Amino acid sequence: MLSKKMEKALNEQINAEFYSSYLYLAMSAHFETGGLPGCARWMQAQAQEEWFHGMKIYGFVHERGGRVGLKAIAAPPADWASTVEVFEQVREHERKVTGLINSLLSLALKENDHATSIFLQWFVSEQVEEEASVDAVLSKLKLIGKENSSLFALDGELGQRVFTPPPAK
């Protein structure tokens, strides 16, 4: 059984994950409009992954006898000045989410909630992967600079990304 404090914190994280999904969909729309379909597809896969994360927590709350309380999802920004700016915001956002996950884990440990602590370990590992993924894209973008032909090549590479949910346990 989840404590009320843990239940509330997990519900806040569900909202944060769904906001992340909306943010990445907004970024995808920005790239579609800007003629970068590969970047758009990368962001769509990212949006699907974040929605999956929210649903994973949703299921866990119910599995532990808690109650999910959904809140409004804030509207994300719609425009960015450059491709680099978009991916820098992704990196900043993922670092923020890492902090949220770490705070959840700290709360679970403080509450002596070992089941939630074990559950959250998956998210800790996932955030390491999330940050590394966006850092890799940013490194390439910074190498490219203003070289449009290289940006189109990277766009093609990013367009290969597909979200595949991890196998159920």
Q: How many CB atoms within 10 Å of residue 59? A: 11
Q: How many CB atoms within 10 Å of residue 72? A: 8
pLDDT range class, residue 169, cuts 50, 70, 90: low
Compute the average pLDDT of residues 42-63.
98
Rounded Cα distance, 113 and 169, in Å: 21
Kindly report, residue by residue over 70-82, the tens digit of the pLDDT. Answer: 999 999 999 999 9
Rounded Cα distance, 133 and 38, in Å: 15
Kindly report, residue by residue over 117-128, the tens digit of the pLDDT. Answer: 999 999 999 999
pLDDT range class, residue 149, cuts 50, 70, 90: confident
Q: Could you tell me which residues are annotated as the binding site for Fe cation?
A: 17, 50, 53, 94, 127
Q: Report which DSSP code applies to 125.
A: H
Contact 63, 112 (CB under 8 A): no
Q: Could you tell me which residues are annotated as the binding site?
A: 17, 50, 53, 94, 127
pTM metric for this prediction: 0.94
Compute the average pLDDT of residues 40-49.
97
Q: Is 92 exposed, middle or buried (0-12, 13-18, 19+ CB in 10 A)?
A: exposed
> Domains in the chain, start-ordered, CATH in brackets?
4-158 (1.20.1260.10)
> Cα 16 from chain centroid?
9
